[in-house]
């Protein structure tokens, strides 16, 4: 069985708790929940929704929120609510220790599709009667560690507090203590489908020191057999993400966290869909996924801006909202067009959705248009919603205070006469069309286009030549703009490969 991965959370309990709270526990009901969550989100974003859909969803009782148990920290004792608790042991007493110490205490080799985990709790590390439950929990986390070895790793989240070694050179398992962030929320959606297959194989109490050991197993083939549960798990994740955004609108607590959670759910569905079992069943969530992707892009582009430059001509005060709700604690990137402005690299709204900042000279003909876009850099949401274009309401204008006259300088080998002329024309056009600059012999701004060739390689009779083009605009107070593009040439001879490489970055630049 092959899987897709990035950080496994609450491996054992989430699926069973969530499925028991669904009205019927089946795919049809989970799909209805996802659909109604998207209807509610559409309304929150101000979209038109059919009256029949609203009525049907209003008649449907909403499930209680799924509990989100968290794994205990290293050395922590079970404390009841909120602690990751696996299925409890039967009330039968602990069996007496065998005459011979079991060899599985030091780890058990996997057998075909069966994975084994050993959990150990020292005497006093858990409350009375809880030793076996905590030992089972640790055994399950060890099984999860092994799953990383068996997983088709399309994406890997390295947010782990402790390294995990799941098997030694002989294939025997090792005990491991880990933070749940070492695993993937994507893997969770797959593994939770087989959690009913987690079995307690054996248990042992050391007669000398009182430590309790539990041997557990998981049959990986169970995931492939329970395709419907995989569909339910993905649909549930999409529904919960949509419900989280709708709830944020309802209680006026719209923050970037709900956008990130929505993006994560979409990315998880994507990654599960590329797995072995996912490819067979992804049509089961395709419609809901596409609806939520559209709504996610709508949310990512939603930044209604009110305000502008103050009387001093330097201070900008803005209020940023979406469908009438302020974006609280959100980060934005400001991008000028039809001119250039000395702007902060990133803007952050306060708890009321307001932000104030100072600007430097504004280079333009009359007014420079500035557009705000959610700053998704460094988030997983960027991979799926990062290319969303801001709405027309995400703009404000700054009166031009300086002439947009600029000089243009090319930095590249002098022997490439033809490509040099083409590059000069492309950069001149871009500076005029996109940046609103007037390129002359002299000016207050400097446009610099630098061509940097990487190490070339000869392949047969041809030469492979990588290249990078970097375009910057510098003003009296520093850099105002920068953008790069990379490509490569592949032609007979070094000079021909360089010329082709430059032409390709010129062609790419025309799409800026």
- How would DSSP label each residue in 211-248? -EEEEEEEETHHHHH-HHHHHHHHHHHHHHHHHHHHHH
CA geometry: angle 129, 134, 136, nearest 5 deg: 110
* Residue 226 pLDDT: 67
Both tokens of residue 505?
């970055």
Q: Where in the chain is the domain with CATH 2.60.40?
A: 302-399
Tell me which H or E stretch contains 321: strand 315-322
**Nearest to residue 136, comparing CAs of 89, 81, 67?**
89
CA distance 488 to 282: 37
* Residue 273 pLDDT: 87
Both tokens of residue 474?
């510098």
Calculate helix-pair angle for 227-250, 14-21, nearest 10 degrees: 80
**Nearest to residue 205, comparing CAs of 91, 123, 140, 87?**
123
* Residue 446 pLDDT: 96
- What stretches of 130-231 adopt beta strand conformation (E)? 199-205, 212-219
Query: Which residues of the chain register pLDDT less than 70?
Result: 1-27, 62-94, 97, 99, 147-197, 222-226
* Residue 174 pLDDT: 38
CA geometry: angle 77, 80, 86, nearest 5 deg: 80
CATH 2.50.20 fits 405-509, yes or no: no
Q: Where in the chain is the domain with CATH 3.30.160?
A: 405-509
The whole model's pTM is what? 0.66
* Residue 475 pLDDT: 92
Strand partners, 407: 446
Determine whether 429 is exposed, middle or buried from the number of CB atoms within 10 Å of its CB (0-12, 13-18, 19+). Answer: middle
CATH class of this structure's domain 302-399 = mainly beta
Dihedral (CA of 274, 278, 281, 285) sign: negative
* Residue 190 pLDDT: 55
Cα 487 to Cα 222, 454, 493, distances in angstroms: 46, 10, 17
* Residue 81 pLDDT: 34
């Amino acid at each position: 069985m092959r899987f897709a991965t990035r950080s496994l959370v609450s491996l054992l309990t989430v699926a069973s708790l969530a499925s028991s709270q669904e009205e019927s526990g089946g795919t049809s009901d989970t799909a209805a929940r996802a659909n109604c969550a998207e209807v509610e989100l559409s309304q929150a974003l101000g979209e038109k929704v059919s009256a029949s859909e609203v009525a049907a969803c209003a008649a449907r009782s909403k499930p209680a929120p799924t509990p989100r148990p968290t794994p205990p920290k290293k050395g922590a004792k079970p404390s009841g609510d909120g602690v990751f608790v696996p299925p409890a042991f039967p009330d039968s007493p602990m069996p007496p220790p065998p005459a011979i110490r079991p060899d599985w205490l030091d780890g058990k080799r996997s057998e075909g599709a069966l994975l084994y985990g050993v959990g150990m709790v020292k005497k006093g590390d858990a409350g009375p009667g809880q030793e076996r439950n905590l030992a089972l929990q640790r055994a399950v986390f060890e099984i999860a560690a092994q799953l990383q070895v068996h997983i088709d790793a399309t994406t890997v989240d390295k947010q782990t507090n402790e390294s995990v070694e799941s098997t030694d050179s002989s294939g025997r398992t090792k005990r491991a203590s880990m933070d749940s962030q070492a695993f993937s929320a994507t893997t969770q959606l797959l593994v939770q489908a087989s959690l009913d297959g987690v079995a307690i194989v054996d248990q042992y109490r050391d007669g000398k020191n009182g430590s309790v050991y539990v041997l557990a197993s998981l049959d990986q083939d169970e995931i492939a057999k329970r395709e419907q549960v995989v569909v339910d798990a993905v649909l549930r994740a999409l529904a919960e993400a949509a419900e989280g955004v709708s709830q944020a609108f309802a209680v006026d607590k719209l923050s970037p966290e709900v956008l990130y959670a929505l993006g994560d759910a979409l990315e998880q569905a994507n990654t599960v869909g590329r797995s072995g079992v996912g490819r067979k069943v992804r049509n089961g969530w395709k419609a809901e996924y596409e609806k939520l992707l559209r709504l996610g892009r709508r949310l990512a582009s939603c930044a209604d801006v009110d305000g502008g430059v103050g009387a001093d001509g330097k201070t900008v005060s803005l209020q940023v909202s979406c469908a009438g709700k302020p974006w609280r604690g959100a980060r934005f990137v400001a991008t000028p067009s039809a001119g250039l402005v000395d702007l902060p690299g990133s803007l952050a709204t306060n708890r009321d959705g307001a932000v104030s900042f100072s600007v430097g000279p504004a280079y333009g003909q009359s007014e420079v248009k500035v557009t705000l876009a959610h700053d998704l850099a460094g988030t997983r949401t960027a991979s799926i919603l990062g290319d969303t274009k801001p709405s027309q309401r995400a703009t404000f204008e700054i009166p031009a205070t300086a002439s947009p006259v600029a000089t243009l300088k090319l930095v590249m080998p002098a022997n490439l006469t033809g490509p040099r002329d083409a590059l000069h024309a492309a950069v001149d056009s871009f500076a005029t069309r996109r940046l609103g600059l007037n390129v002359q012999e002299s000016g207050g701004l400097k446009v610099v286009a630098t061509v940097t060739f990487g190490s070339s390689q000869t392949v047969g009779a041809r030469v492979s030549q990588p290249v990078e083009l970097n375009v910057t605009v510098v003003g009296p107070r520093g850099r105002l703009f920068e953008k790069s593009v990379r490509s490569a040439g592949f032609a007979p001879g070094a000079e021909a490969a360089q010329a082709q490489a430059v032409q390709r970055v010129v062609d790419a630049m025309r799409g800026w």
